[in-house]
Amino acid sequence: MSEAEQVPASAPEAAAAVLDALNATDSNGTEALNATAKFVATPEGTALAYGSLVFMALLPIFFGALRSVTCSKSKNAADMPETITSRDAARFPIIASCTLFGLYLFFKVFSQEYINLLLSVYFFVLGVLALSHTMSPLMSRIFPASFPNKQYQLLFTQGSGESKEEIVNYEFDTKNLVCLLISSVVGVWYLLKKHWIANNLFGLAFALNGVELLHLNNVSTGCILLGGLFVYDVFWVFGTNVMVTVAKSFEAPIKLVFPQDLLERGLEASNFAMLGLGDIVIPGIFIALLLRFDVSLKKNSRTYFYSSFLAYIFGLGLTIFVMHTFKHAQPALLYLVPACVGFPVVVALFKGELTEMFRYEESSPEEAGAKEDSSESEKKDQ
């Protein structure tokens, strides 16, 4: 997290690519940028900024976790989650480190202006798609039943006859087109003005899609991922200046920001507190897994979800407290990982369900479909 920073005023695989970028430029490293900040925030401005950041961080975790339950049962190709295995989790910190160091070399060798131009276009496309996907369920409730909602299908195939192979098969409707249009307007606003509100709209959409569409296959995988990124975060923040250099140069909606001088300057404020999306998505996908575990228990309770959700609030609050106490940058995962893993484990020990929690296994959509097909064929044979 960052205390004060001067910023210019001016679906599953895609989500995974975004998550790589989030961790490669996690804003934990941006704390050191405070060294050059001259703005001194008022207590009211600081409280408003950090309160707003905490609130915004909770939104994609809560709603993304709820949507992940529905997403795990979906048979629509556009809504199918990307399953993270233990092998993926073990490799992820290494891949994120290589990505981070690669960006560091790029910014050292090439012009920052041209790199950020390419990144702006890239995140413009991803942001429009992510925001459109986020808005879609809301629009379905807003539009009246009498709304003429036509169905469309985008289909690309390769070959002909028996060798014909589907490359793209995407179904959408008029409501989806309206969402795409609204998202494009926000995208153009961000591209031209880099306004912090547009940045946050894209950031919230990225985070919510990440929590919804990136699924851990079991609790052990979640512990491996969080543990690896815990080490990654601490090393790159405290051990080198690589993350700080990249964060200073990187202009993209991969963080949530809120101005500490909002009360003085209104919407034109430019001294921001910030929170990297990696500090939201990484704990968020683990919290979403625990919600799906709660659902699998069929006990009509959400004990593990709420305990991990409260643990996240505690860890984020502790990060802010330590940062202000010691006046030094703090990697948020240093506090979030022990809290989000430790609290549910203690609850499971107390309830005698620790073994059951670690035995819980989620199958990928392809495996689940294969199981359903095999069970149906067995019923027909009988």
In angstroms, the first-to-last Cα distance of the chain is 60
Q: How far apart are CA 17 and CA 13, in angstroms?
A: 6
Residues 265, 25: Cα–Cα separation, whole Å: 28
Tracing tokens 């240093």 back to the chain, one arrives at: 334
* CA-based R_g, the chain, Å: 22
C-alpha–C-alpha distance, residues 349 and 363, integer Å: 25
Q: Catalytic one among 279, 294, 373, 381?
A: 279
For tokens 């307007």, name the residue.
Answer: 185
Residue 147 CA from chain centroid, whole number? 32
Other C-beta atoms within 10 Å of 298: how many?
A: 7
CB atoms within 10 A of CB 157: 11
> Could you confirm whether 173 is annotated as catalytic?
no
Looking at the DSSP bridge assignments, the partners of residue 368 are none
All residues at 6 or more sequence positions from 207 whose CB lies less than 8 Å from its CB, including other chains: 57, 60, 61, 64, 256, 277, 280, 281, 284
Question: Which listed residue (26, 233, 261, 294) is catalytic?
Answer: 233
Q: What Å distances lie between residue 181 and 174, 239, 266, 320, CA to CA? A: 11, 44, 28, 38
The question of whether 261 is a catalytic residue gets the answer no
Could you list the active site residues?
Answer: 233, 279
